[in-house]
Amino acid sequence: MKREALAIVWDIENVTPSINSTFMKGLLEYAHTIGRVTAAWVYGDWAREGLESTAHQLFEDSFEMIHIPRTHREHIDVILGSHILYLLNRAPHIHKLLLVSGAAQLAPALREIRSHDVETTIICDSKNADEDLLILADNFKDFRDLTIAPLEEDIQSTEKPTLSVEESFNLLREAILYIENEERNPTPEAVYVRLRLMNERFDEKRLGFDSWRSYLAEAERRDIVHTRFKERNLVLNLTPHARVPAEQALPTILAAFLKAVREAAEKTITSEGKKAKLQDVGTRLLKADLDYHQHGYSKLKKVADAAAKRGLVIVSLKGSDYLLDLTKKGREYLEALGTP
């Protein structure tokens, strides 16, 4: 069967992976599973320091690189929107779009693109993605879910990942707090998007609920959330019983992961300072009798990705080593949790 034509449009100033090479490989592999790539455009300030190796790799992968000076960044919605619509009008056989950006100002352009009967998948950075933009897409993923890490030996069991109802409600609480801290309205739709970004395994039907609405009804019955209208929108608010500081809403496995990163970093010194190897972190979790599969993660890398999505660690590669470093926010979380 002939695969549908697909276009990739990447705003590299909005989604800038710390490991560009493995993301690009993962992005192209994912693109080939959903369509046939017929156009690939990437937009950025190519005069900016630090993009040299990325530009070389993009050229090797046949991306068309379009220069947008940072002084014109505020016009990104008009530039990308008009270019995509021009492409769709010029090539009406393209029915799928892989948009690599989570910028809120692209929402009007995306609505227009959808009117062309184009199936849209958004690849975003959870740390800056706008939930209302992702609601408009047919599908969405965090870019870290596509990055390819060096082959790791799974030092834990072969148990399939599971996510309990209780832990999902902890994620629900964390999602609402995140949106509130960003000074946005935690509408049911926005909270659902944020939940899926935080843990791609979240699925209300797997948890035994027939719909998102019934899942929220159970959360309300358990005195976790209550609903109210704000500016004509239905929003979710945490009850006083469920409201805690952001660091206390962190899933148990991630708090343990941060502690393990800090400990493992003391054992590994690189040219850039002390950093933790992913496998060393896994060994420490295993010794603490913590199995990440029981927290909804299929691989140790997925736990690292979850921490990176929250801005708690920075990921880098050195040779075949997958290295982790706590961010300032990650260190502050550990201090606030009183982790020894």
Mean pLDDT of the chain: 89
> Which residue has 């606030």 as its token pair?
336
Task: Give the whole-angstrom CA distance, residue 219 versus residue 311.
Answer: 27
pLDDT value at residue 129: 95
183: left (phi over 0), alpha (psi -120 to 50) or beta: left
Domains along the sequence of the chain with CATH = 5-145 (3.40.50.1010), 165-248 (3.30.420.610), 251-337 (1.10.10.10)
**Do residues 131 and 179 touch, judged by C-beta distance below 8 A?**
yes
DSSP 22: H
Q: Within 10 A of 48 (CB to CB), how many other CB atoms are there?
A: 13
- The dihedral through the CA atoms of 161, 167, 170, 172 has a sign that is positive
Q: DSSP per residue over 45-71, as a string?
A: -TTSTT-HHHHHHHHHTTPEEEE--GG
What pTM was computed for the model?
A: 0.89
Q: What is the pLDDT of residue 232?
A: 80
Q: How far apart are CA 173 and CA 182, in angstroms?
A: 15
Residues in the chain with pLDDT < 70?
A: 1-2, 150-159, 268-272, 339-340
- Distance CA(290)–CA(156), nearest Å, equals 9
Question: What pLDDT does residue 268 have?
Answer: 67
Given a contact cutoff of 8 angstroms between Cβ atoms, the answer to whether 133 and 164 are in contact is no
> In degrees to the nearest 10, what's the CA dihedral of 188, 191, 197, 203?
-50
